[in-house]
Structure 1
Amino acid sequence: MNEIHALQSDNELVFNRIYQDYHPRIYGFILNRTKSDYMAEEVTQLTFIKFWKSRHTLSHTLEIQIQLFGMARQVMIDLLRKEATRFKYEGDTAETPLTNSLINAIESKDLLQIIEKDMENMPKMRRLVFDLSRKQGMSHREIADLFSISTKAVEKHIGKALGQLKQHLYSVML
């Protein structure tokens, strides 16, 4: 996290090193999702501009990679939305549903990956209870009976799981 302190002290050498390290990865990440060289180049450049401009508000608790890729994802979605709006106002409606479905697919896929990864890091019991409740559709009573715990304990596990997911998703969406 010393890199963040250096960035916040306007250290351009650290920024240049981060740019060199992450430019190809961000470009590949966007290219993989959009299948457009133009979009990948635009998003990559805009991401690093945004990264530099927001260096003073970077989190000291999140890795630079997480913050950069979160920014890249948001810049990509913003750019796709602009393109959809432009197509709409230019009368080219054939492109709009495609662009909108691409935005939705990217958001859904990324969100599911974030949730799944975050769930892997939960304590085992919390993960099991949450999984049984949300994925298997079991009631709190059924889960409580299965593990010989109270329904209050089940509610606590689910509440903590939701809190953890919300906190992580909030930090990623910034």
Structure 2
Amino acid sequence: MSLIDGLKTSNETALRRAFELFQEPLYRYIFDKTRSPELAKEVVQLTFIKLWKYRHSLKAEISLSSVLFRIARTIMIDELRKQKALRKAELHQSGPVQWELVTESVSYNDTLRKLELLIRQMPPVRQRVFRLSRLNCYSYSEIASMLSISTKTVENHIHLALKFIKPFFPVLIFMSGTLLFNIVLL
């Protein structure tokens, strides 16, 4: 009996087996998109709850993997929208006390725009390497594999990109996945 058949007949063992098979890939997929372990765990749980709730409508011709990843993606988008709405509501409710956060956000967005203009001035391969490394959190070896270049070439592109950007931002710190910056006027 296939997992889909087991799920359609309300077989809890089939649900447990599906969870064992797909929990980790779903978690990695959501974590790669959001960089939030809490959100990834929540989405995985909600995905299997929704799968169980709608198990009777599963179709044998559609793979369980496809169904689960589609459910997870939809839930992730919904959760991100909820978080955005909550942040927006909190900002409106807090009024003048939050002015500092607003100005920080404006400054952050302005800096990101300036950084994007600088990135666009780099050669195309360097732009791609820089974005993959610093904004998408790929390792040097993953980037080398994706672009069919050596790891040393990736390192060189990152070094040159940072060297190019540094004069425009005297103190600019890039952490994996998150752009942290502190502009110091000298």
**Cα distance in 2 for residues equivalent to 1:89 and 1:58:** 37
**Cα distance in 1 for residues equivalent to 2:26 and 2:5:** 22
Q: What aligned pairs does 1:19-30 form with structure 2 within 5 A after superposition? A: 19-30=19-30
Q: Which amino acid aligns with 1:41?
A: K
Three-state SS of the structure 1 residue aligned to 2:38 is helix
Are 1:61 and 2:67 an aligned pair?
no
Which residue of structure 2 aligns with residue 47 of structure 1?
A: 47
Q: What aligned pairs does 1:69-80 form with structure 2 within 5 A after superposition? A: 69-80=69-80
User: Which runs of no fewer than 5 residues in structure 2 stay unpaired?
Assistant: 93-101, 110-186
Which residue of structure 1 aligns with residue 95 of structure 2?
A: none
Q: What aligned pairs does 1:25-174 form with structure 2 within 5 A after superposition? A: 25-91=25-91, 94=105
The RMSD of aligned alpha carbons is: 1.8
Q: Which amino acid aligns with 1:21?
A: L
Q: Calculate the TM-score normalised by the size of structure 1.
A: 0.51
Q: Which amino acid aligns with 2:76?
A: M
For the pair shown, the structure with the greater C-alpha radius of gyration is 2
Residue by residue over 1:67-88, the C-alpha shift from the partner in whole angstroms, topping out at 9 and shown as x without a partner, is 0000000000000011111111
**Cα distance in 2 for residues equivalent to 1:5 and 1:14:** 8
**Cα distance in 1 for residues equivalent to 2:2 and 2:45:** 24
Deviation at 1:6, TM superposition (A): 1.3
The structure with higher relative contact order (CA 8 Å, sep 6+) is 1
**Cα distance in 1 for residues equivalent to 2:59 and 2:83:** 30
Three-state SS of the structure 2 residue aligned to 1:16 is helix
**Cα distance in 2 for residues equivalent to 1:57 and 1:63:** 13
User: Which runs of no fewer than 5 residues in structure 1 stay unpaired?
Assistant: 99-174
Q: Which amino acid aligns with 1:52?
A: W
Query: Kindly, what percent of the aligned residue pairs are identical?
Result: 38
Q: Which amino acid aligns with 1:68?
A: L
**Cα distance in 2 for residues equivalent to 1:85 and 1:58:** 32
Three-state SS of the structure 2 residue aligned to 1:59 is coil
Q: Which amino acid aligns with 1:3?
A: L
Three-state SS of the structure 2 residue aligned to 1:79 is helix
**Cα distance in 1 for residues equivalent to 2:76 and 2:15:** 21
Residue by residue over 1:49-98, the C-alpha shift from the partner in whole angstroms, topping out at 9 and shown as x without a partner, is 1111110111221100000000000000000011111111111775xxx9
Runs of 4+ in 1 over 6 A off after TM superposition: none
Residue by residue over 1:15-70, the C-alpha shift from the partner in whole angstroms, topping out at 9 and shown as x without a partner, is 10110110011000000010111111111111111111110111221100000000
Three-state SS of the structure 2 residue aligned to 1:42 is helix
Deviation at 1:4, TM superposition (A): 1.3
* Higher share of residues assigned helix: 1
**Cα distance in 1 for residues equivalent to 2:59 and 2:85:** 32
